């Protein structure tokens, strides 16, 4: 399955408001945040920080990526926030004295099963900041590759 990106977060945010061609789709997908640029597909050598996807059955993949970006940049409070991965990346950036806008993001949207695709990406890329492996796919009995 092809990957879109990677896009440096700074460049993704600094695009004209009427240019949606670099935004993820609304439907299902998997995204990856890395320390370094990659070609074709992300790999472990690009410093994979986080792998995620949209939760539930709703078509809110673009919104999920937006929640990630907001929380990465610190736009959440003690009792609020939308994305634990974004908050983990924020903590990593503070510890490493790194600017989250200098990280890279890419996504895969042509997936048959979002849960299986996220499990596969986590298994292959072994992200540094994911606190737990995605739950097994109830539709495919935990098998991957769908």
Residue range 5-18, pLDDT digits in tens: 999 999 988 887 78
According to DSSP, the residues that pair with 1 across neighbouring strands are: none
Q: Which comes out higher in pLDDT, residue 4 or 81?
A: 4
pLDDT for res 73: 93
Mean pLDDT (whole number) for 45-73: 87
What are the helix (H) ranges across the chain? Answer: 9-13, 61-72, 84-96, 114-125
Q: How confident is the model at residue 57 (pLDDT cuts 50, 70, 90)?
A: low
pLDDT tens for residues 93-135?
999 999 999 999 999 978 888 888 889 999 999 999 998 777 7
Burial code of 2-41, b = ≥16 C-beta within 10 A, e = fewer? ebbbbbebeebeeeeeeeeeeebeeebbbbbbbeeebeeb
User: What radius of gyration do the chain's Cα atoms show?
Assistant: 14
Query: Cβ contacts of residue 109 below 8 Å, gap of 6+?
Result: 4, 24, 25, 27, 28, 29, 61
What backbone torsions phi and psi does residue 118 show, to the nearest 5 degrees? -70, -40
For all residues of the chain together, what is the average pLDDT?
Answer: 87
pLDDT for res 142: 52
């Amino acid at each position: 399955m092809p990957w879109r990106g990677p896009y440096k977060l700074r460049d993704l945010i600094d695009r004209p408001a009427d240019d949606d061609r670099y935004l993820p789709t609304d439907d299902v997908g998997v995204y990856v945040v890395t320390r370094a640029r990659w070609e074709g597909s992300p790999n472990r050598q690009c410093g994979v920080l986080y792998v995620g996807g949209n939760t539930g059955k709703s078509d809110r993949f673009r919104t999920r990526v937006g929640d990630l970006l907001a929380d990465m940049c610190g736009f959440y409070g003690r009792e609020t926030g939308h994305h634990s991965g974004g908050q983990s990346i924020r903590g990593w950036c503070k510890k490493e004295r790194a600017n989250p806008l200098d990280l890279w993001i890419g996504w895969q949207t042509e997936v048959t099963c979002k849960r299986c695709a996220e499990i596969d990406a986590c298994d292959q890329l072994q992200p540094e900041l994911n606190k737990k492996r995605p739950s097994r796919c109830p539709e495919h009995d935990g098998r991957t590759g769908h």
